[in-house]
Amino acid sequence: MTKKVAVLPGDGVGKEVTKGAIDVLNAIGQRFNHQFEFSYGLIGGAAIDTEGVPLPESTVAVCKEADAVLLGAVGGPKWDAVPTQLRPERGLLAIRKELDLYANLRPVTYYDSLADSSPLKKEYIQDVDFIIVRELTGGLYFGKPSERRTNGSEEVVVDTLYYKREEIERIIRQAFETAKVRRQKVTSVDKANVLESSRLWREIAEEVSKDYPEIELEHMLVDSAAMQLIRNPKHFDVVVTENMFGDILSDEASMLAGSLGMLPSASLTLNGPSLYEPVHGSAPDIAGQNKANPIAAILSAAMMLRHSFGLEEEAKAVEQAVEHVLNAGHRTADLANGSHYLSTEKMVEAIVDTIAD
Ligand code: GGG
């Protein structure tokens, strides 16, 4: 099988971790006799520096010609003074909109050998296994108006939480479809005691659930969900929520897995290429130091094999190789608790060698 992968390394550690994911895809190609062809595009600060915009048209074209997209990370203090509409993060939002990547799947998996890396006690986190299904192309991050104004002598700001019914329905349907092949439970997270958008969200969740009688649906307010994720994370199977709540809750949930460097994601569309990226950002404090954890990017590549190419055995081979190296005691700096750690490249090498064995 030959597949075209568009690679958007972005900024900071994005470049280092995407390189690791490509090495792993090539190792999978060798072992299972597939060919991955890589083409490259600029996004984020790297694109601002050379093209003056965070998402050049040439990058969109590279993505649309590919079977899937692998993205690193965007952002960094270098672009802090850039106007909001031109910030590196705008590139991320724009590519999501361009490719209609409405469903962001963020699995949170517990690795037994990483129990000591989490600030939480092993008894709370052991066997945690849930997935956050985050709506990715609507809500506060996209609603208009989003601006600063002066109202007489007052400076005011406005952001708009806007959703169409069909946007809510399709993400909730995705959550139920995801739950079908898991433990058959959906937790719909909202703020229905305050927000009108959440009241509609809840109504639609109830409507969609009628098509899935075998699946349990519960509603949870986002503040309560933030607490329950720490208090009783094993309670969750599939968590579905709007864009900003999902962004915040998944960073919180990463602590259950030991580090943000462990969380992969898939951003799925119904038509065209889907996109795969680590949940973490560009980590400017360690960029260029060969110190970043490449596992989130590598596990994102595994999600690409599964969701875009239907290569389940290959995806499992990557996930098993990651588990194997962690069980063997290999750690990057974020997981090492101050003791000896591997560089990004050495961690990639350990995973590639395991796949090749
Ligand atoms: N790899 C993900 C990344 O670069 N994250 C930075 C960021 O600004 N994320 C916001 C979001 O995911 O909505």
Residue 272 · residue 100 · CB < 8 Å: yes
ipTM of this predicted structure: 0.89
Q: Are 25 and 5 in contact (CB under 8 A)?
A: yes
In whole angstroms, what separates CA 118 from the centre of its chain? Answer: 20
Site to substitute for ligand 1 among 18, 74, 95, 105, most atoms within 8 A of C-beta = 74
| pLDDT at residue 186 in the model | 98
Residues of the chain with pLDDT under 50: none
What is the spatial distance between Cα 181 and Cα 195, in angstroms, rounded to a whole number?
31
Range list of H helices, 258-311: 295-307
CB 86 within 8 A of CB 27: no
> For residue 150, how far is its CA from the centre of ligand 1 (angstroms)?
30
Maximum pairwise Cα distance, the chain: 70
Check: CB of residue 131 under 8 Å from CB of residue 178.
Answer: yes
- 245 to each of 103, 135, 200, 299, how far by Cα in Å? 14, 9, 16, 23
pLDDT for 117: 81
Please tell me what DSSP assigns to residue 262: G
Active site residue 212: no
Say if residue 148 carries a ligand binding annotation.
no
Residue 180: predicted pLDDT: 97
| Of 339, 348, 333, the residue nearest 261 (C-alpha) | 333
Class of the domain covering 1-107+259-357: alpha beta
Return the pLDDT at 83.
87
Q: Residue 70's beta-bridge partner residues? A: 7, 276
pLDDT in the model for residue 239: 98
Number of neighbours of residue 223 by Cβ within 10 angstroms: 13
Interval 9-20: pLDDT, tens: 999 999 999 999
Read off the pTM: 0.95
pLDDT computed for residue 48 by the predictor? 97
Q: How far is CA 261 from the centre of its chain?
A: 11
The two tokens of residue 44 are 């984020």
Strands 154-160 and 143-151: antiparallel
- What integer pLDDT is reported at residue 241 of this predicted model? 98
Distance 217 CA to ligand 1 centre (A): 29
Q: Any known ligand binding at 228?
A: no
Give the pLDDT score at 118.
Answer: 81
Task: Let me know if domain 119-257 sits in CATH 3.40.50.300.
Answer: no
User: Which protein residues touch ligand 1 with a CB less than 6 Å away?
Assistant: 73-75, 89, 92, 247, 277-278, 280-282
Sign of the Cα torsion 328, 289, 28, 258 reads positive
What's the confidence (pLDDT) of residue 12?
98
Instruction: Say how many Å lie between the CA of residue 277 and the centre of ligand 1.
Output: 9
Active-site entry in 3, 15, 163, 191: 191
Q: Is 141 marked active-site?
A: yes
* Nearest ligand 1 atom to alpha carbon 136: 13
d(CA 157, CA 233): 36
CB within 8 Å of 89: residues ≥ 6 apart = 44, 54, 74, 75
Shared fold status for 1-107+259-357 and 119-257: yes
Give the pLDDT of residue 115.
Answer: 87
Domain ranges (residues) in the chain: 1-107+259-357, 119-257
